[in-house]
Amino acid sequence: MTIARKTRILVTTGAAVAIVAGAAAFLPTAWHSPANAAIPPEPPATSSGAAAPVSISSTGLPDFSPLVERYGPAVVNITVKQEVKTAMRDMPGMGGPDDELQQFGPFFFRGMPMPRRQPVVGQGSGFIIDASGLILTNAHVVDDADRVTVKLTDKREFTAKVLGKDRQTDVAVLKIDASNLPTVVMGNASDLKVGQWVLAIGSPFGFENTVTAGIVSAKGRALPDDNYVPFIQTDVAVNPGNSGGPLFNLQGQVVGINSQIFSRTGGYEGLSFAIPIDVALRVQRELVANGHVSRGWLGVSIQGMSRELAASFGLDQPRGALVAQVQPDSPAARAGVQTGDVIVEYDGHAIGEASDLPPLVGETAVGSSAQLKVIRNGKEKVLTARVEQLADASGDSDQPAAADRSHASLGVAVADLSPEQRAQIGIDSGGVVVTAVGDGPAADAGIRRGDVLLRLGGTEIRNSRQLRELVAKTPADKPIPILVRRGDNTLFLALEPSSRSG
């Protein structure tokens, strides 16, 4: 059984957006490189020679063949195998119609589900960054894999070890036991300009070393549930299996890792997204040195500013991150940040959009101080916060930096409840409040803005992070009850499979 799931797909029907991988929902995911002597300095670009610049053909279009000849061998195909428990009925020796045990009665073991381990295979891409066998790819390519196999263009195959993976940035580091391997050259994503040509090499649908080209469509894109990655948007053809492959510039340098596509069908539709290589390398160095990634944490829930909101807060134009909630006993709370503050500058960096803030906080060294310029009651105020480490910040952490995040596969945005809010509405623990409802399963079920979600299936919803995990594990073939508190009433609503499958 093969599943084509190794490129994250932002599937949209109308305004509803779901991050999926094949038939399974992905609700991803920050980088931070604290001052730590255990982390090696950034290595110089690796190469067997100078980068292969792209020439211009007689037609005036770029000729990518020198680049592909030079660096195509450094791009690898990745195959993962995962053992998944399934159910069997009427197993041989368990009361099947032709079984001799039938003599003990017509219902002996008949129809009893018996567990069996079914191998599931997926494919992705990666690229060699060190001649000793260090490989970069996407975390979702190797997530939950029992065995990872790397295949080179010369047909050699190696069993790879996963040195570490970080779901929030979707970066993973592999190691194979080899030497003198071909490598790529690292570029600088910040030097990219919108409109420039870029090229991808990968294994879409298992077709190894497929080359596609396009242009940079935009930079610094924020995607649902990916607060920490300023994605490079391109129109390069990327499909399932391309995930983890390199994105090259015209100088033959890697500037990104192809990670996601935006699609209504599950295939390429002109919108592809790559992780900037500088983000990936920061994560790679921490994973190799420490096995996990540390991130800064302020403890605020934020939202964007509309023109109407900006005017109501005394701003001349929409800018900054509006603080919707401050977590008790957090760095932000101790610094004096208040609900309703608009953060317009963080440690000298202007905050134009709310999405600008999480990456800056994430890369702040834990334990250091950062200055926040906020607008409160129409006046500027400067506060100083001592940044702490994001809780549960392991390589597998899915903890969001802001509680007010889009739960894309449900079509809602939610925020964690403070103890005061819980006391006000009369619940002892858990629960998340719906701050926005778009097209999707939640709207179809009748969920409204202001509802408090208490339980999904038979599990209590403790916070927004755990809700994302519950949604990711929700079966897509049957209705799931969700318990909702609305005003003084509590009621169950049904999330239908038809509305959760797209």
Positions annotated as catalytic residues are 140, 170, 243
Distance of alpha carbon 232 from alpha carbon 189, whole angstroms? 8
Radius of gyration for the alpha carbons in the chain, expressed in angstroms and rounded = 25
Sign of CA dihedral 417, 418, 422, 428: positive
From 279, 406, 362, 283, select the one nearest 17 (Cα to Cα).
406
Distance of alpha carbon 416 from alpha carbon 405, whole angstroms? 10
What are the two backbone dihedrals, phi and then psi, of residue 127, each rounded to the nearest 5 degrees? -150, 145
What are the two backbone dihedrals, phi and then psi, of residue 71, each rounded to the nearest 5 degrees? -115, -5
Contact present, 243 and 7 (Cβ < 8 Å): yes
Bridge partner residues of 162 (DSSP): 174
Q: What tokens appear for 433 in the block?
A: 């409040």
From 497, 496, 407, 499, select the one nearest 453 (Cα to Cα).
407
Under the phi-then-psi rule, with left for phi > 0, alpha for psi from -120 to 50, and beta for the rest, what region is 411? left
In 363-453, which residue ranges form alpha helices assigned H by DSSP?
Answer: 419-425, 441-445
Distance of alpha carbon 366 from alpha carbon 227, whole angstroms? 18
Residues near 5 by beta carbon (within 8 Å), at least 6 away in sequence: 21, 22, 23, 24, 122, 240
Distance of alpha carbon 434 from alpha carbon 315, whole angstroms? 26
Distance of alpha carbon 252 from alpha carbon 247, whole angstroms? 9
